[in-house]
Every structure is written in structure tokens, then in C-alpha cells.
Structure 1
Amino acid sequence: MTDKLPYAEVIGDPIAHSKSPLIHNFWLDCLGIEAEYHKTHVTAEGLAAYFLARRADPDWLGCNVTIPHKIAVMDFTDDPGGVRERIGAMNTIASETGGPLIGTNTDAGGFLQPLLRDKWKGESAVLVGAGGAARAILFALTSLGVADISIMARDRSKGQGLLDRAGVEGRVIGMNDALPAADLLVNTSSLGMVGQPVLDIDLSHLADSATVYDIVYSPLETNLLRAARARGLKTLDGLEMLIGQAALAFDIFFDAEAPRDRDEELRTLLLAA
């Protein structure tokens, strides 16, 4: 980190796996913007001290937020967009010099981009997990009019709380229960990520036209995506949402539109990293 250039960063625990710096710094280089983007390890116990220190740094533009802080960071931010009530999780925090920290969520928009691009028209979905990412994705799907939603969660009460908060009359199923014949399965959890247990689900009950979307991107080729392709299902990998949400955050931090015409080059860099 330098005290000469403005910077943004991503925080989380763990954080070593994050590819966000590669994405943002690639775009900064493409556009010739003199700024930087870092990754910083912040524990749950260190969140308060982190924000206290960053608010005093005039070069800090804000941060992206990843596991496990997307809910906890709401205690440190202002919320002019009503993200607390509408989604219940934040993944992007912008710093206004001398002013408040503004929290928002770019996960929802980033998640939707490939579905909208592919003109997805499904009516039912299953979300694996009930954490901060699931909140944004549930909000995104309901904005598309998807009303038949199941939450697959280890803690059924947490899954039901997610549905209740969103006002969705869905259902909660256990991790070993059979999947419904849904049009979309989304892994919103960390299962399958490097260092985490694999996500092993029987996909045989999904609709033959279903899409399987895994937001894990390290590794990019997860056990879930391999199983989906073996069944002949359409798949979307974690880079889709990662790049989509990053582009929205990039505009917030650096006041510039990400050069999405360079996506193929960016994906090549990410896969090689």
C-alpha cells in the first residue's frame, strides 16, 4: 500500500484467495487511472478498528466486503439506499471525504448480469446457503419475479429467517434432502471453495433445462459444476458474478465505467492467476 495514490480494497477472512485486486487493477491499467486496489485480511474482531483507521486515511476510497463480514459491516455504515431492509447485507462501502461511510450491495446486480444476458426465463430456484450472498441473490431473483424458491441450509431456522425477511413463501430443505425440479440451482455458500468441504448434491431431480450457477471462483471448476455438466445442464461459474459485481463497485470507487469490452482478456488473466 502507498500513501501517494488513492486506493480501494477488499476485506475478508480468509482473503488470500481473492481475485478482486487483479480485476480492479487490470481495469485501472486499461483506463490509465492512477489508483490502486488491494486485499486486506480483517477478522470479525478487527472490523471496528479497521474502519476507524480507514476513515482517517484521506487516500482510502472504500472497500468491497467478502466472507464473513457482509452482514456485520452494516453496523459501521450509513444506508441511504435502504439496503439493510431490502437485502440485509452489504458488499461495497464507499468513503466520502469528511462524511459518512455509504454501504450498498453490488452482488445482486452482478449475479443477475449473466442470467439477463442469457435471457433466463425460469420460474423456480434453489439457493444453497443462507448467508450474506444468499440475501443478495434472493433479492435479485425476486426482482425477476421468481416466486418458487427453496433454501437448502444446514440451519433450517436461518434459512426460514432468510425467506421471512424477504417476504417469500418458499420452503427450507436440509443439505441431504432431495432437490425439487427447479429451473435454477445457485450455490451461494463457501462449500466447494479451496479449504472448504466440497458441495456434493444429487442433481438428478433438477429440470432437464435447469441452470447450475456456482458463485465460488476458487477453484473455478467446482465439483458442483462438473456434476452439472456431466448431467448436460447449463452452467455459470463464479467469475460471472465476480466480474459483474466488481464492475458496479469499480464505478463507485473510481468514478469510471469498467471496460467490459476487455472481459475475455480479463478472464484469461484470472484463469492463469
Structure 2
Amino acid sequence: MTDRSTGLPYAEVIGDPIAHSKSPVIHNFWLEKLGIKAEYRMFHVKPDELEGYIASRRDDPDWRGCNVTIPHKLAVMDHVSDPGNVHASIGAMNTVAKAENGELFGTNTDAGGFFAPISDVPLKNQDVIVIGAGGAAQAVLFALSRIEVGSVTIINRNVLKASALLARFGLKGQALEHGSALPPARLLVNASALGMKGQDELIVDLSPLPDDAIVYDLVYAPLKTSLLKAARARGLETIDGLSMLIGQAAVAFEIFFDQAPPLEHDELLRKLLLK
């Protein structure tokens, strides 16, 4: 793990792997539009380096915080304070920042970022399928628990873990193993790493879904995942991973740099991300 200092205020995204991250493009685009002299970068942190990384940033006066991605969203909770009780509610952190007193605290902007593009979809009492049971899935389940959806089916390799999450978030439903037939549902969310560059493909039979179903893939590298291609071939409405990525980044940006991002440029930003 190496570092590079530029003397500017900075934030970053950490993970393993991390080269695929589009977060630097988003945050640096907003910094440039606002004329803020700061930077946002990516930093590769392996699981056994996480504690050392947090310690190294704690006393860095230029460090404003970091976004946290796979596989650190659960482990990072052991190293920072939790003023919003994220551990007990969502159960995963995707953002760490520095308070005025220098204390490092964690929060989660994934739940809001996930919900933003479906906020106008009537999902109350509608059935939902969630693939995955990690940090991103927990943010999704937290959001779903707040909008009174119907039955939730979690598909995961570890069925016991998936069942425990249903109980944790007070959701009725079932847990199924990967490869199980999908039940009918209004919304299907891939909150796993399957389909991500370097990971196994996510291959599911979408035929049980109704014609008005929405397929939402949180993976954004690649943007056109096999899941979304299959959904579009069926004529289903789709939402790609950039929607959540930009939504959660907007909340984190304001935490890091004390200014709201210039969202009026979102169309230009999305074109930039699609290059």
C-alpha cells in the first residue's frame, strides 16, 4: 500500500479491487464545476491493510474522508465511530469522514442512492427479489423496509445469512440459493458482485417476471451487464448502476467538501461516465 501527497484537500474511494471505480470521475467533475481546489482519487486497500489505512488517514490534515466499496463495508465499522447507529440499522458503511474534532465516523449513503431512481415507482405491497446479502444488499433491504414492500425473496449462496437479513429488517419473504427459479416480482435488484468485471456472470431466467417488472443492477463496471441485456431483450424496464452510484456520491460529496454537488450537470456527467 503506497500513498502520494499533493498538499490539496482530498477524499478517495477504497476497495479491493478498485481500478474499475468511477467515483473519481464523478467527484472530480463536481469539484471542477464548483471551482473547489481539492481532489478525489482511488486507493487500493487489501483486507489486511484496512486498519493501517484508517490509522494513516486519521492524522492527515488534508484527508476529508473516503467512500468504501467491496469488500470493506462491513469490516470498516470496527475502526470508526458510528454516531448514526448505522451498525444496528443498515449494518454496513460506505462512507467515512472526519468530524470537526478529528474523530473519524462512518455512515451509509447507499440506501438513499439506491432509492432515488425508483422513488416514483409504487412499490408498496409489491414483491421484490434481491440478489446478494452483502453490504450493498443490506442498504437495499433497509430502504425496502421503509417503503412497506410486499414479499422479499433474497437469493444468495448462504441461505442462512439471507434468512437472517429478512428477520433483521422485519421483512416477510424467503431465502433461496443461487440457481433457484425466480418467483414473480415487480422489482428485481442485483446487489451482488456477480456480473462485475473480473467476477462470475449473473445468469438468471427472467421469464417468471411480469411484463411490468423493473430490473435494477447495481453493478456499473460494465454498465451493460448480462442481466440488463437479458431484461431489455424481454422488453423489461431497466435501471443501471450509474443511477445509484451518482445518487450515493452526491450525499458523500457534501459530507466531504461541505457543498452540494451541481446536479444540474448530471446529463453531461453521465455522458462522461459512459465514455
TM-score range (shorter-chain normalised) is over 0.9
Give, as a single letter, the amino acid of the residue that structure 2 aligns with 1:39: M
* 1:241 equivalenced with 2:244 (yes/no): yes
Secondary structure of the structure 2 residue equivalent to 1:270: helix
1:96 shift after superposition: 2.2
- Counterpart pick for 2:190 among 179, 182, 187: 187
CA contact (8 A) 1:3 1:59 kept: no
Separation of aligned partners in 1, 2:150 and 2:90: 16
Secondary structure of the structure 2 residue equivalent to 1:190: coil
Separation of aligned partners in 2, 1:90 and 1:177: 30
Partner of 2:121: 120
Separation of aligned partners in 2, 1:176 and 1:132: 21
* 1:217 equivalenced with 2:220 (yes/no): yes
CA contact (8 A) 1:58 1:97 kept: no
Partner of 2:39: 36
1:141 shift after superposition: 1.1
Give, as a single letter, the amino acid of the residue that structure 1 aligns with 2:35: G
Give, as a single letter, the amino acid of the residue that structure 2 aligns with 1:6: P
* 1:202 equivalenced with 2:205 (yes/no): yes
- Counterpart pick for 1:161 among 164, 172, 196: 164
1:261-272 superposed matches below 5 A: 261-272=264-275
Partner of 2:175: 172
1:215 shift after superposition: 0.4
> Which deviates more from structure 2 when the two are superposed, residues 78-87 or residues 96-105?
96-105
1:174 shift after superposition: 1.4
1:102 shift after superposition: 1.2
1:137-195 CA distance string (max 9 Å, x none): 00011111113111001111111121122122221011111111100000000100111
- Counterpart pick for 2:10 among 7, 10, 13: 7
CA contact (8 A) 2:58 2:102 kept: no
Separation of aligned partners in 1, 2:272 and 2:109: 22
Which ranges in structure 2 are unaligned for 5 or more consecutive residues? none
- Counterpart pick for 1:252 among 245, 252, 255: 255
Q: RMSD of the TM alignment (CA)?
A: 1.0
Separation of aligned partners in 1, 2:90 and 2:99: 23
Separation of aligned partners in 2, 1:80 and 1:32: 31
Partner of 1:106: 109
CA contact (8 A) 2:156 2:178 kept: yes
TM-score, structure 1 as length reference = 0.97
Give, as a single letter, the amino acid of the residue that structure 1 aligns with 2:39: E
CA contact (8 A) 1:125 1:183 kept: yes
1:3 shift after superposition: 3.9
* 1:27 equivalenced with 2:30 (yes/no): yes
CA contact (8 A) 1:79 1:104 kept: yes
CA contact (8 A) 1:61 1:96 kept: no
> Which deviates more from structure 2 when the two are superposed, residues 96-105 or residues 172-181?
96-105
- Counterpart pick for 1:76 among 68, 79, 104: 79
Identical counterparts, % of pairs: 59
1:2 shift after superposition: 3.1
Separation of aligned partners in 2, 1:223 and 1:32: 38
Separation of aligned partners in 2, 1:12 and 1:165: 26
> Which deviates more from structure 2 when the two are superposed, residues 105-114 or residues 139-148?
139-148
1:52-63 superposed matches below 5 A: 52-63=55-66
Separation of aligned partners in 2, 1:97 and 1:52: 17
Which ranges in structure 1 are unaligned for 5 or more consecutive residues? none
1:196 shift after superposition: 0.7
Q: After the TM superposition, which segments of 4 or more aligned residues of structure 1 sit over 2 Å from their partners?
A: 96-99
TM-score, structure 2 as length reference = 0.96
1:51-76 CA distance string (max 9 Å, x none): 11000111000100000100000001
Give, as a single letter, the amino acid of the residue that structure 1 aligns with 2:121: W
Separation of aligned partners in 1, 2:62 and 2:101: 12
